[in-house]
Amino acid sequence: MVTGKYALIGYPLGYSLSPALHNNFFEKENISAAYEAKALLETEIESFVKAKEYTGFNVTIPYKETIIPYLDRITSTAHEIGAVNTVKLVDNAYIGDNTDAGGFGLMLKEDLGINMQGMRVLLLGAGGAAKAISYRALKDECRELLVFDTSLDKTESLLARYSSYKQIKALNSLQSITPFYPQIDMVINATPVGMKDNSSILNSEEINLLPKTAYVIDIIYSPLETPLLKIAREFGLKTLNGVGMLAGQGILGEKLWFNKSLSYQEAKAIISHGL
C-alpha cells in the first residue's frame, strides 16, 4: 500500500483528464493516493517545490521549462529535451523527467505498429511538444526531420538544441515544403491550429501531394478529428489524433512513480470517455 499526494500543475488549468486517469489507476491498484489539478501562478512554483508536499506531480503549460531550476535534478532525457513533465520525490529530492517523447513513441507502436526509423518526417510546430517529438524522431533514427514554425525564434531554439543531429532541417515557409510533400512518410501537427477553429494547417492541395502511404498525425485530442485529419482521411491516408500520446505519457508517468501502470488501452478508454 502506497500513500501519497499527486498533482498536475500549470496555469491556467482548464478541464484536465489527468485526475481521472491517475485516480482510476490508484483505485484499480488499491493505492492509497489522490491526484488533483492544481493551478499555480509562476510566483508560487518555488514554494510549491520547497514544501515537498507531493510524492509526485506532472507539469503542463507554461511551466515545463520554468520548473527545471527549482528541481533537485533532472534525467538525461529531460535535459536533452529541455523540458520536464513528470516529477518524482526520491529521498526527499525532486527528480524531473520527460515522458512526452516516450508517450508519442508508445502511441506509434501501439496504434500503428511503427516507429520513425528511416522515415522522412515533416513536423509542423517547434514549441514544447515539438521538442519532445523531435527527440523521439531523432532517437528512432528518422531519415530526415523537416521542421516548420511561424516563429523563427522557436525554430532556431529547437534546431540549436539538436544541432548534433545532421538529419534535422528547418523550413522557412509553408511554400518551401512543397517540393518535399511527395517524399514525406509522416506529417505531425504539433501546433494548436485546428483545436478551436475549423482551419487546417495544410490545405487539400498540399495533403494531396503526400504519398498514399503517408501517416498524418495531429497531437490535438479535442476535437478527436481536426480538419487536418478529416482531409487526410478523405484522401485515404492513415490518421491518428493525440489521445494516444496523452495516454502514453500518463502511463509512463505511472511507471516512473510506481513501476506499474494502467494498460495503454485502459488509459485511452478513460481519456476518450472523458472527452
Catalogue the active-site residues. 64
Helix (H) or strand (E) holding 22: helix 18-28
If you ran DSSP here, which 8-state letter would residue 117 be given?
Answer: T
Show the cell assigned to 226.
481536426
Closest CA to 202 of 235, 174, 225, 222: 174
Cis previous bond, 227, omega within 30: no
Q: Where are the alpha helices (DSSP H) in 108-242?
A: 128-139, 152-161, 204-208, 227-234
Helix axes 18-28, 243-258, angle to 10 degrees: 50
Calpha distance 100→106 (Å, rounded): 10
Identify how many contiguous H helices and E strands the chain contains and give both numbers.
Answer: 10, 12
SS3 170: strand
Calpha distance 83→128 (Å, rounded): 7
| 13, 219, 251 from 266: Cα distances, Å | 24, 19, 10
CB 168 within 8 A of CB 138: yes
